[in-house]
Structure 1
Amino acid sequence: MKLANPWKQNPWFETVAVAQERARKRLPAPVYGALIAGSERGQTVEDNQRAFTELGFAPHVAGHRPERLMGRTVLGQEVSLPVLISPTGVQAVHPEGEVAVAKAAASRGTVMGLSNFASKSVEEVTATGAPTFFQMYWTGQRDVMIQRMQRAHAAGAQGLIATLDWSFSMGRDWGSPEIPEKVDLKTMVRFAPKVATKPRWLWEFGRTGTIPDLTTPNLQAPGGEAPTFFGAYYEWMTTPPPTWEDVAWMAAQWKQLSGKPFILKGVYRVDDARRAVDAGVDGISVSNHGGNNLDGTPATIRAVRPVSDAVGGQITVLLDGGIRRGSDVVKALALGADAVLIGRAYLWGLAANGQAGVENVLDVLRSGIDSALLGLGLASIDELRPEHLLIPDGFDRAVAASLASV
């Protein structure tokens, strides 16, 4: 028998900010804290959003176009809007986790990014029909990495994302959210006081007969058990950091195996972008890991124009970090990004209302893109240029190639 939701309310929200507030009210404090946390003082998290407010528009009063187009082809995938799902780990904010997100991506015509730290397997996610880019960290031995690539390819992944910009600095001035090694009876008793205050979240899991899953099935070795998130983290900590030769090897292995695009996530500097081209990547994401990396790294929107000017004619340039509204997407595209990736925004939608909440977030962004194009008098995102923005002097921050370290 299907249980009726005793907390059912109007599920629709009109902004990502409302989705965030609903997620805050619904989730236990440690879970919500994990979604908003940034490293050290949180300077980068703040600048990722603040920088967008420094960019302005000069809208037209007449001559608006009756239709605005926002579809394009990104890394071989036709998308209905230039907003892709960024891979994020262990989506225990909702029982369906990454499967719900993938269904929403398929429904709204965009690409699903799936972390190898995800709580759902690559096979479950690709079965939704969403075009999926599988994400890998540089962890484990090379033969293990190849095995993971083979599994992703066999499951139907349409691209591989390599993420290198993680955990250079993890201390948080306000304290890191407590995440258990695994969810068992002892853990549930210890977290009971915090979880009991969020009955709607408990009810969502209770009606499915599940508990939050903190294992990482995409890192499961053949015949073995899926490691916990912290087991996966230990593997990362004990793997020597990659060189540019390692990046080139990874790109070559994936493309030889699948013939599909290889994307490098975590690029900020112009010299790194050029090295990525030399390493054979098909696309890069200008990213500071949402502020969960080296604090003090400026907002990614400050770097996207110099990076795009340097390599945009050779590879696809994506941006992630701080996207909260459709106008942010338009600003990123005007400065040279081909598309953007969202992370926290869809996680808040997932927490607020599952698959429908993620769809709601994508609809909010689509509407905002349309409104910005309308105000600018443009008929397509393909017409966006820096000239459509009011850009203050000194806005760009990307490090030039002349300052490259050796």
Structure 2
Amino acid sequence: MASTRTWFESVAEAERRARRRLPSSVFQAIRAGVEAGTTLSENVAAFSRLELLPAIAGQPSSRALSTEVMGVPASLPVLLSPTGVQAVHPDGEVAVASAARDADTIMGVSAFASSPVEAVAEVTSKFFFQTYWSGSRSLIAHRLDRAKSAGALGLIVTLDWCFDFRRDWGSPWIPRRMDGNAILRYMPELLARPGYVQRYVRAGGPPSLGVPNMADERGEVPAFFDAFEEWMHTPSPSWEDLAWLCSQWQGPVMLKGITRASDARKARDVGATAISVSNHGGNNLDSTPATIRCLPAIVAAVGDEMEVLLDGGVRRGSDVVKALALGARAVMIGRPYLWGLAASGSVGVANVVEILRAGISETLYALGKDSVHDLGRADVLMPDSFAIGDDE
């Protein structure tokens, strides 16, 4: 169907609507990448260098899209990746949770989320909690216990971030707190987007920029940059630390940020259930290869022993199919659903998921496949120099 006022037919249209409806600083905070934005662009562009060969007869009348990630079933192989402070819409993660529930897929809840994990749990039971290695072991254990008590079915540990202060290519100034000075500085942008302001007025006021899931043992909620500084000043984890984290959680764990086959093997050895091939959406080290290029070697290294997901650059259902054909269990999306959230709240997030669902189904039909589980390497034409080789 063609785009209407309440429906958009592509992720690109969701991005255009988000740009029109958000203050420019808020939009750029989502859109930004590292330094020159090379990895940000390559994550998307690399999919176009993979080709698919359609079948011309005997297409299946129906296609099975459902899968399972870390023991949790999903109606399609697309998960909503954890993203921090969702100031694009006052309902934030609660709206995303509603869309995930209605689409019957899995949501990642960020430690830096705007909404407490308990509020998400009231809306959907299918969620994983995401954490960073931040603070002492006892503080990390406290936060994990809280997430598990709320009902989190798995843990995502984000490791793909190097604290490069040049990381936000094109990113605007972000205040420590949304106080009067910050609102005054943003005033020209806010006047240009009255609908954005009205949504927050109806919700009771501007975003607080607090991160409730990073609260300490006393329940004190830090501001985003206070939590960020705790994380930044915590020494990065060793593989022994990650083994402790997996044993502490006592459930399925995904390590997010793998681009090397050798790191995938180490993730397996410390007890991780799954890995996400990710470069933090182009927000880590610029000139990192596109994640889809890293995927084949990682699948070859550990794909029979643990679940491998792909995160980065997915904009179409055909992108999902290409990732699955190269061995991914599922993909995770970030910016696309945030654009949908900005465009239309929970309905917009659901809209993005349904665009991808339709695209997956249509691509399977064109390839003559009954199920996402029938896809394989023979379904994708890959240039000789495309895949990154094993680093060992």
Which category of TM-score, normalised to the shorter sequence, fits these structures?
over 0.9
Question: Structure 1's 363 and 179: CA in aligned 2 closer, same or farther, altered over 3 A?
Answer: same
Aligned to 2:126: 131
Q: Distance in 2 between matches of 1:373 and 1:140?
A: 45
Q: Which residue of 2 aligns with 1:385?
A: 376
TM-score normalized by structure 1? Answer: 0.94
Q: TM-score, normalised by structure 2?
A: 0.97
- Structure 1 residue 175: Cα displacement: 4.3
Specify whether residues 135 and 298 from structure 1 end up closer, same or farther in structure 2 by C-alpha distance, changes over 3 A only.
same
Q: 1:292-334, CA deviations, whole angstroms, 9 ceiling, x for partnerless residues?
A: 0010100000011110111011111011000101000000000
The count of residues paired between Structure 1 and Structure 2 equals: 389
Distance 1:345 1:108, change over 3 A: same
> Is structure 2 residue 102 aligned with structure 1 residue 111?
no
- Is the Cα contact below 8 Å between 2:265 and 2:301 reproduced in 1? yes
More off after superposition, 223-232 vs 121-130: 223-232
CA displacement, residues 207-239 of structure 1 (integer Å, 9 cap, x when unaligned): 222312311000112434311111111001110
- Alignment of 1:370 with 2:361, yes or no, is yes
Instruction: Give, in whole Å, the separation in 1 of the partners of 2:125 and 2:208.
Output: 22
Does the 8 Å CA contact 2:314/2:333 hold for their aligned counterparts? Answer: yes
2:358 is the alignment partner of 1:333: no
Could you say what the CA RMSD is over the residues aligned between the two structures, in angstroms?
A: 1.2
Amino acid aligned to 2:9: E
What CA distance in whole angstroms lies between the structure 2 residues aligned with 1:106 and 1:375? 29
The answer for the alignment partner of 1:303 in structure 2 is: 294
Distance 2:282 2:149 in 1: 33
Query: How do 1:260-275 and structure 2 match up within 5 A?
Result: 260-275=251-266
Q: In the alignment, is the contact (CA less than 8 A) between 1:79 and 1:111 conserved in 2? A: yes
* Amino acid across the alignment from 2:326: L
Opposite residue 221 of structure 1, the aligned amino acid is D
Structure 1 residue aligned with 2:10 = 15
User: Is the 1:167–1:294 contact (alpha carbons within 8 Å) kept by the matching residues of 2?
Assistant: yes
Q: 1:287 and 1:270 mapped to 2: Cα distance?
A: 13
Moved more, 371-380 or 199-208: 199-208
Q: 1:28 aligns with which of 5, 23, 32?
A: 23
2:162 alignment partner in structure 1: 167
| Code of the aligned partner of 2:41 | E
> Contact 1:137–1:162 (CA<8 Å) still a contact in 2?
yes
Give me the whole-angstrom Cα distance separating, in 2, the residues matched to 1:280 and 1:172. Answer: 31
Whole-Å separation in 2 of the counterparts to 1:318 and 1:57: 20
Q: Which amino acid aligns with 1:191?
A: Y
SS of equivalent to 1:266: strand
Change (3 A) 1:134 1:173: closer
Gaps of 5+ in 2: none
Question: For residues 169 and 231 of structure 2, what CA distance do their matches in structure 1 show?
Answer: 25
Q: In structure 1, how many angstroms separate the alpha carbons of the residues matched to 2:160 and 2:135?
A: 16
**1:38 corresponds to:** 33
Q: Give how far 1:174 is off.
A: 5.0
Q: Structure 1 pair 166/22, CA: closer, same or farther in 2 (3 Å)?
A: same
Name 2:270's counterpart in structure 1. 279
Instruction: Provide the residue aligned with 1:75 in structure 2.
Output: 70
Q: Identify which range, 218-227 or 176-185, moves more after superposition.
A: 218-227
SS in 1 for 2:183: helix
Q: Is the 8 A contact 2:94 2:119 kept in 1?
A: yes
CA distance in 1, matches of 2:62, 2:168: 48
Deviations 1:340-374 (A, max 9, x none): 00000000000000000000000000000001000
- Alignment correspondent of 2:228: 233
